Structures are given as structure tokens and as C-alpha cells.
Amino acid sequence: MPDPAIEFREVTFARPPALPVLDRFRLTVEAGEVVAMVGRSGAGKTTLLKLVNRLLLPQAGAVLVQGRDTRDWEPIQLRRRIGYVLQEVGLFPHMTVGGNVSVVPRLERWPPERVDRRVSELLELVGLNAQQFGPRWPDELSGGQRQRVGVARALAVDPPVLLMDEPFGALDPLTRAELHAEFRRIQSRVRKTVIIVTHDMGEAFALGDRVGVLDEGHLVTCDLPHRVAASNDIRVRRLLDALPSVPRAHTDAAAAEHPSESGRTASAPPGDGR
């Protein structure tokens, strides 16, 4: 059995004087697995991601990426092996779409032809016409298109790990559903190890191979979606009940959503309906 892609070992992270954001947190993510972490605002979701790419270091315990403690990784090297998609996308406004997507390849000093080839490949992968979108500027894109560019940028040097922080949070429901389907399509091709954090249980069910629930620094559960949906834990139920858009706690209901969403995606006009 190879090392798990990402492992949290009894990780504690606190910003004194507040209570610990994460308290003896344990989680193992296998290579090629998508784990969706759900929690309310301030539950420590973003902290979780930042511990993986060493934007933060744990005060106790250890985070292991590909079997190696993040403390032992050279931070720049580590980060270039980890794609990061942010909620506000964080596209550089002074660079074109092509420029944004090619940031890391250029940092890695790839030869220009290879960079160009990779940009076209990635834009096509995320469903954008490279010729048409490559020279555009971020503020000329719709929210959905920007997210697609954000994903393409994160995948640029084919990193084994992808971290996504509320990646589709700011989108309208239709576009979001479309991108969920897109994400699953892309993931089926690239097979990355992915941690997605979201406050939306529905999104977690739609994307995660496993769904984790984070509450006050503890991992309440991390299991297959239908088992989480069936959980009787009050902290899980609270998240499920708080969201009217969440399907009823039936395995079938969650599963039944998918084909209808895909159908919608197929009939939606290009350009995310904007």
C-alpha cells in the first residue's frame, strides 16, 4: 500500500487567544480521491487547506503530503505540486486568460511552445475554446467562465493534488450545477487527489467521493455521501436541515439528482447561460 496522498495526524492549529481552529484533527485522503469537507463559516475549512500547501504550519501534529511532513517540504516546490482554486478565483486582472493559466508553467521555465500547447489543452479540458478565450481578460468573462479558468490554472503543471476553497460558491445554481458536472468529467480524466471545502452540503454530495463534516475544529464524520446523509449526529443533521436546497436524506434522492443535472448541462447554451 503506497502512502496516502494527504494525511492529517492529530493536527492542532490555533490563533490565540481564540479557541483552536483545528483540534487534534485526523484525516487521510487516498490518491485519486475527492474529499468534500462541509462546515459552517469559521469552522476551519480554509485553515485545513492552507495547512496542506504550507501557507500555515500546524502547532501540534503533522500534515503529510505524499508521505512527507509539510515542514520538510521546500514550500515553493510543495506549492507548485498542489493546484489551488479559490472562491474569488484570484485571477490576475493584469494578465489574459492564457497568461493566467500559464503562470506556473512560466515560473517553472517551460519552453514557450510547450506553454502554449499546455494552455490550449487546459482551456479545451475545462470547456473553453482556446483561440477564443486565451487572449481575453478576466473581467470579460462570466463568473462560471472565470471558475473554469481558475481550475485550468490550478491544473497547469499537472499537480497530483488539487485544493478547492468554495470553488463554486459565488455562482448561480444553474451554472453551479453545470460546473459540478464539468468537474466530475474532468476528474474522471485527470484523477487528482482533491480536497474541496464548502458550506453547501448539496455541493459536497455532488462532488465528493467522501463527505466530511467539520464542526468546532473536530471532524464529526467522513464517510460515503449516503452514509453521511443518513447520519443521526446532531451536528451533521444541523447542516443538512439548515440548507433547504439539500435533498432529503435518502440515498436515492442524492443519486437521482445527477442525471437530471447532466441533462441540463448538455442542453445549456455555451458560455454558462450568460
Q: Cβ of residue 102: shortest distance to another protein, in angstroms?
A: 11
Give the separation between CA 32 and CA 53, rounded to whole angstroms: 17
Please report the sign of the dihedral spanned by the C-alpha atoms of residue 87, residue 214, residue 26, residue 34: negative
Among 9, 24, 40, 79, binds another protein (CB under 8 A): 79
Which amino acid belongs to residue 208? G
88 binds another protein (CB under 8 A): yes
Cell numbers found for residue 266? 448538455
Rg (CA), the chain: 19
| C-alpha closest to that of 153 among 107, 203, 209, 189 | 107
Q: Does 107 bind another protein (CB under 8 A)?
A: yes
- The answer to the question of residue 110 lying near another protein (CB under 8 A) is no
Candidate list 36, 43, 64, 78; residue touching another protein; CB under 8 A: 78
By the rule CB under 8 A, 57 interacts with another protein = no
Distance, CA of 104 to CA of 79 (rounded, Å): 10
176-235 binders of another protein (CB under 8 A): none
β pairing state of 193-198 and 210-215: unpaired
Distance in Å, CB of 153 to another protein, minimum: 8
| Minimum gap (Å) between residue 244 Cβ and another protein | 29
90 makes contact with another protein (CB under 8 A): yes
Closest CA to 238 of 254, 214, 222: 214
Binding-site size, another protein (CB under 8 A): 27
Q: Pick out residues in 115-174 that bind another protein (CB under 8 A).
A: 137-139, 153, 163
Q: Does 256 bind another protein (CB under 8 A)?
A: no
* Closer Cβ to another protein, 88 or 252, answer by number: 88
Transcribe 177-225 into DSSP letters.
HHHHHHHHHHHHHH--EEEEEES-HHHHHHH-SEEEEEETTEEEEEE-H
**Using rule CB under 8 A, residue 86 touches another protein:** yes
Binding residues for another protein (CB under 8 A)? 53, 55, 75-80, 82, 84, 86-94, 103-104, 107, 137-139, 153, 163
